[in-house]
Amino acid sequence: MGAETPSRASLASYTGAARAVDSAAILGFFAAAGANVSRVWALGMEALDGATAAAICLGYLASDLGSGTVHWFFDTWLSARTPVLGSMFVRPFREHHVDPKAITRHDFVETNGSNCLATAPVLLGALLLDPSSSIAAQFGVVFLVALALGVFATNQLHKWAHADEVPPGVRWLQCMGLVLRPEHHSVHHRAPFARHYCITTGWMNPLLDGLGYFRSLERAISALTRAVPRAEDAAIT
Ligand SMILES: [Zn+2]
Ligand SMILES: [Zn+2]
């Protein structure tokens, strides 16, 4: 293992500064999500129609696609030592491959802070829309809020997929396939360690793996940048 290769100890650091950022991000997430939900709620029950249900489903589906794309990106490119992004996003994914159970030892702030930060543009974008102005704007706000809530839940659902014990309600959701199932996610942790990146529900994994979605993106990025996918993994092994 070379001097520049991240060790398990170096990956395990979670600084006080990172915790402060995560804590602020969680507070900001609940404030922005609550503001958006209250604006839709103010429209009254008659506004909660089929289009609203479709926007919720599409937002949840989009969060699964987003989880897979972001997970793939930070598994495949950059380094745990990349400024800012390395400690906030790359480190948790790389640590997870070294020690898959570590995520189950993270508290609420460490588990969910980074995803709250990631949803900031989504929730701020929703706040720029006036849900009372048109059906399309209402659909957009509901979609973006459902997307943000799905992204927020992702790390927690991923953590539960690795936990030895989960609350009965969570087990039921897993059995129903409404959230990430441990058996489904275990595929990601088996060779070649480059499948089933989606970790909110996993619903998108069969489609994306079947289409070769991530391999196509890797070929395109390598052609453009000459970067090697999973170069840091190759250095470790
Ligand atoms: Zn991974
Ligand atoms: Zn995992």
Query: Does 212 map to a domain?
Result: yes
Instruction: Give CA torsion, residues 118, 133, 34, 90, to 10 deg.
Output: -10
Query: Does 3 map to a domain?
Result: no
How many Å apart are CA 145 and CA 194, to the nearest integer? 29
Nearest to 126 by CA among 116, 140, 139: 140
At 75, list the tokens: 């598994």
Question: What integer best gives the mean pLDDT of the chain?
Answer: 90
Among all bound ligands, the one having the nearest atom to the CA of 155 is 2
Among all bound ligands, the one having the nearest atom to the CA of 72 is 1
Calculate how far, in angstroms, residue 76's C-alpha sits from the geometric centre of ligand 1: 9
Calculate how far, in angstroms, residue 48's C-alpha sits from the geometric centre of ligand 1: 37
**In the chain, how many domains are there?**
1
Domain of 123, in residue numbers = 8-236
How many Å apart are CA 174 and CA 160, to the nearest integer? 9
CA angle 217, 201, 151 (to 5 degrees): 75
Calculate how far, in angstroms, residue 47's C-alpha sits from the geometric centre of ligand 2: 38
In which band, very low, low, confident or very high, does the pLDDT at 12 lie, cut at 50, 70 and 90? Answer: low
In which band, very low, low, confident or very high, does the pLDDT at 14 lie, cut at 50, 70 and 90? Answer: confident
Q: Residue 7 in contact with residue 1, Cβ under 8 Å?
A: yes
3-class secondary-structure state, position 146 = helix
At 137, list the tokens: 């704007």
* Choice among 18-32, 90-104, 116-130, 200-214 with the minimum mean pLDDT: 90-104
Query: Does 225 map to a domain?
Result: yes
- What is the pTM assigned to this prediction? 0.87
What confidence tens digit (pLDDT) does each residue in 53-68 have? 999 999 999 999 999 9
Query: Does 90 map to a domain?
Result: yes
Q: Residue 217 in contact with residue 194, Cβ under 8 Å?
A: no
Calculate how far, in angstroms, residue 96's C-alpha sits from the geometric centre of ligand 2: 7
Q: Residue 109 in contact with residue 26, Cβ under 8 Å?
A: yes
How many Å apart are CA 203 and CA 137, to the nearest integer? 27
Query: Does 1 map to a domain?
Result: no
Calculate how far, in angstroms, residue 102's C-alpha sits from the geometric centre of ligand 2: 10
Query: Does 30 map to a domain?
Result: yes
At 128, list the tokens: 């720029």
Calculate how far, in angstroms, residue 162's C-alpha sits from the geometric centre of ligand 2: 7
Query: Does 2 map to a domain?
Result: no
Among all bound ligands, the one having the nearest atom to the CA of 202 is 2
Among all bound ligands, the one having the nearest atom to the CA of 162 is 2
At 85, list the tokens: 């992004």
Q: What is the pLDDT of residue 114?
A: 87
Among all bound ligands, the one having the nearest atom to the CA of 214 is 1
User: What amino acid occupies position 21?
Assistant: V
At 2, list the tokens: 């070379």
Calculate how far, in angstroms, residue 134's C-alpha sits from the geometric centre of ligand 1: 40
At 199, list the tokens: 């970790």
